[in-house]
């Protein structure tokens, strides 16, 4: 897709993703079964093959925090050059929190603000890294998969802990080592040692990224820290920490 076409498409996204976005994200009614059914329906739309621009030109990291004792959802988006990892843009979107935390339904809580943050970026990223699960989710629709299906963007989930599944193989302490994460017989992601001596990340494709490609892509954007640079910076912006404060994350 050419630059002008991508710009026009993103302009349409800006109009679409402005709040309240009720057509995209259901209002909270307390009906958790309906939301689980919607997750199962959306999970069937997930594409687990590489379908992104090559070479990648931009990558964006996304994360969510909360303000005012959870009343406000604060989503951060950081756009980077895919080669140099130079920051091209930072944006924060704040929206009223639409629903309480319900295990397994986190994406419905976080997605409105994430989409609003996406709409603030000057251009759509070629790849999105989301702090959270991709398909490594009980119904195969974590926040990164949900984000990818709704936005249409290639996405990968980069989580700090396992939500579902287990690894049956020992993970080497070498940086860049990874081992499959399985739920029964199904592979749903990877445990990735992004930094020696640190706990592994849970990496799983969200949308338009193949299972085999996910850990390689995450390591491409990982520097001296445990988290890849896009989500590391988004995490700091979402939590209002200094973007370059010394940390082992």
Query: Residue 142 burial by CB count (10 A; 0-12/13-18/19+): exposed, middle or buried?
Result: buried
pLDDT in tens, 96-126: 999 999 999 999 999 999 999 999 999 999 9
pLDDT of residue 21: 43
Alpha helices in 105-155 (DSSP H): 106-120, 143-151
Q: How far does the chain reach from its first CA to its final CA, in angstroms?
A: 35
pLDDT in tens, 163-179: 999 998 889 999 999 99
Range of the domain at 189: 3-25+50-238
For residue 247, pLDDT beyond 70: no
Q: Is residue 111 part of a domain?
A: yes
Q: Provide mean pLDDT across the span 42-48.
A: 98
**Could you check whether the bond before residue 55 is cis, i.e. omega within 30 degrees of 0?**
yes
Give the C-alpha separation, 58 to 92, whole Å. Answer: 18
Q: Is residue 73 part of a domain?
A: yes
Q: For residue 207, what are the β-bridge partners?
A: 155
Q: Is residue 204 part of a domain?
A: yes
Q: Is residue 89 part of an annotated ligand binding site?
A: no
Q: Is residue 68 part of an annotated ligand binding site?
A: no
The number of domains in the chain is 1
Q: Which residues of 143-156 are buried (b: 16+ CB within 10 A; e: fewer)?
A: bbbbbbbbbebbbb
CATH number reported for the structural domain that contains residue 80 in this entry: 3.30.2170.10
When mean pLDDT is compared across 10-14, 116-120, 159-163, 188-192, the lowest value belongs to 10-14
Q: Is residue 196 part of a domain?
A: yes
Global pTM?
Answer: 0.90
């Amino acid at each position: 897709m050419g630059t002008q076409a991508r710009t026009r498409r993103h302009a349409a996204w800006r109009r679409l993703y402005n709040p309240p976005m009720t057509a995209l994200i259901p209002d909270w009614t307390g009906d958790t079964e309906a939301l689980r059914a919607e997750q199962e329906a959306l999970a069937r739309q997930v594409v687990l093959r590489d379908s992104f621009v090559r070479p990648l030109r931009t990558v964006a990291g996304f994360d969510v925090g909360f303000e005012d004792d959870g009343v406000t959802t604060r989503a951060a988006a950081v756009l980077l050059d895919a080669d140099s990892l130079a920051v091209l843009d930072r944006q924060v979107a704040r929206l009223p929190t639409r629903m309480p935390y319900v295990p397994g339904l986190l994406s419905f809580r976080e997605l409105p603000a994430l989409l609003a943050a996406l709409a603030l970026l000057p251009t759509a990223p070629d790849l999105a890294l989301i702090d959270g699960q991709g398909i490594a989710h009980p119904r195969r629709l974590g926040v990164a998969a949900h984000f990818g299906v709704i936005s249409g963007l290639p996405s990968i989930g980069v989580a700090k802990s396992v939500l579902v599944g287990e690894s049956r193989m020992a993970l080497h302490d070498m940086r860049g080592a990874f081992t499959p994460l399985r739920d029964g017989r199904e592979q749903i992601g990877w445990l990735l040692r992004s930094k020696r001596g640190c706990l592994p990340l849970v990496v799983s494709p969200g949308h338009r990224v193949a299972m085999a490609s996910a850990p390689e892509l995450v390591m491409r954007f990982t520097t001296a820290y445990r988290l890849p640079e896009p989500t590391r910076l988004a995490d700091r912006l979402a939590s209002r920490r200094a973007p370059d404060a010394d940390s082992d994350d």
